């Protein structure tokens, strides 16, 4: 009598806990093509040192790429401060192109002034 | 994508508040963590209520269990709305046109309607029941609907990032 609804509810709560738990992990990067890595090299045109991800635009080989970086807290803790990704800096960004937004990529790592910063 | 969103959401995102959330190192992460913690507390309180409505915890007095859990659920819901607003404001013009976010809003509305039906109808018939007395079918329906709706809300919330 008592057990069936209890069990049902507990199963549901467990499922909810799993859903909630995964929220701590970062959201998926499914819309980026990891099979076609690109390196975008050039001068930073615009820079947004913002959450949830910092982004810069970079002119590279006649194209303007939007390069998605990491959350600002992670970037600054790894030394990639706002000054490192400031407008005018020469950057080399290795990462994966978006399958949704043309000329957008998310960087695995960036190199500025000879120093490499991991974004993941 | 921005031009598809109603102007009010574009304005919200571009407001000083939106900029402050994005430019702060800690505000967005705090909103994110707070949203999940509030969800856990909310889910726990709701689960206790729904289990009681479904006939579980039968040895307890339904009125006391339901009313205490209800206080916790309301507090957690307020915290969820507040932290959700932080996350939403940072990226309002994109989030508002996200199909899963729209489904989530609809489900929250459904959850609140279910709550209102319970609050102004079903509740009266169950809070004075003695321990061990079987729950009426309307209470079971409200409990089952509640758990299903709030689980779906949580699933949608997590899925916003993928659509």
What's the token pair of residue B23? Answer: 């430019």
DSSP A62-93: TEEEEEE---HHHHHHTT--TTTT-TT-EEEE
Distance CA B106, CA B121 (A): 22
Cβ contact B43–A2 (<8 Å): no
How confident is the prediction along chain B (163 residues), in pLDDT tens digits per residue?
444 799 999 999 999 999 999 999 999 999 999 999 999 999 999 999 999 999 999 999 999 999 999 999 999 999 999 999 999 999 999 999 999 999 999 999 999 999 999 999 999 999 999 999 999 999 999 999 999 999 999 999 999 988 8
Which of B27, B51, B151 is opposite residue A6, by nearest beta carbon?
Answer: B51
Distance CA A57, CA A66 (A): 4
The domain locations on chain B are: 2-162
The CATH number of A38-118, from 2.40.50.1010, 1.10.10.10, 3.50.50.60, 3.30.70.270, is 2.40.50.1010
The reply to whether B29 touches chain A by the CB within 8 Å rule is yes
Cβ contact B21–A72 (<8 Å): no
Interface residue ranges in chain A relative to chain B, Cβ cutoff 8 Å: 1-2, 5-6, 8-10, 12-13, 15-17, 19-20, 22-24, 27-28, 30, 48-52, 71-73, 76
ipTM of the shown complex: 0.74
pTM of the model: 0.80
Contacts of B43 in chain A (CB under 8 A): 13, 16-17, 20
Q: Whose structure tokens read 């990462």?
A: A95
Query: pLDDT by residue (tens digit) across A49-108?
Result: 999 999 999 999 999 999 999 999 999 999 999 999 999 999 999 999 999 899 999 999
């Amino acid at each position: 009598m008592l057990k069936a609804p209890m069990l049902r509810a507990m199963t549901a709560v467990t499922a909810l806990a799993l859903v909630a738990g995964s929220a701590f992990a970062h959201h998926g990067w499914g819309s980026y093509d990891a099979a076609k890595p690109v390196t975008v090299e050039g001068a930073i045109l615009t820079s947004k040192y913002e959450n949830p991800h910092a982004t810069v635009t970079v002119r590279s080989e006649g194209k303007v790429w939007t390069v998605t970086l990491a959350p600002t807290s992670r970037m600054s803790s790894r030394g990639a401060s706002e000054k490192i990704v400031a407008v005018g800096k020469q950057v080399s960004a290795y990462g994966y192109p978006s399958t949704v937004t043309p000329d957008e990529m998310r960087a695995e790592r960036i190199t500025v002034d000879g120093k490499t910063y991991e974004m993941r | 994508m921005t031009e598809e969103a109603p102007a009010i959401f574009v304005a919200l995102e571009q407001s000083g508040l939106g900029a402050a959330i994005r430019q702060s190192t800690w505000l967005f992460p705090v909103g994110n963590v707070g949203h999940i913690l509030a969800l856990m507390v909310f889910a726990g309180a709701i689960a206790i209520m729904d289990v009681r409505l479904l006939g579980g915890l039968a040895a307890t007095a339904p009125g006391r269990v339901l009313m205490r859990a209800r206080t916790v659920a309301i507090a957690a819901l307020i915290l969820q709305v507040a932290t959700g607003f932080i996350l939403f404001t940072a990226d309002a013009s994109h989030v508002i046109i996200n199909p899963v976010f729209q489904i989530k809003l609809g489900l929250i509305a459904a959850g609140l309607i279910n709550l209102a039906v319970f609050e102004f109808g079903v509740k009266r018939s169950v809070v004075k029941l003695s321990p061990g007395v079987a729950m009426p079918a309307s209470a079971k329906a409200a409990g089952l609907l509640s758990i299903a709706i709030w689980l779906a809300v949580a699933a949608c919330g997590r899925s916003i990032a993928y659509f």
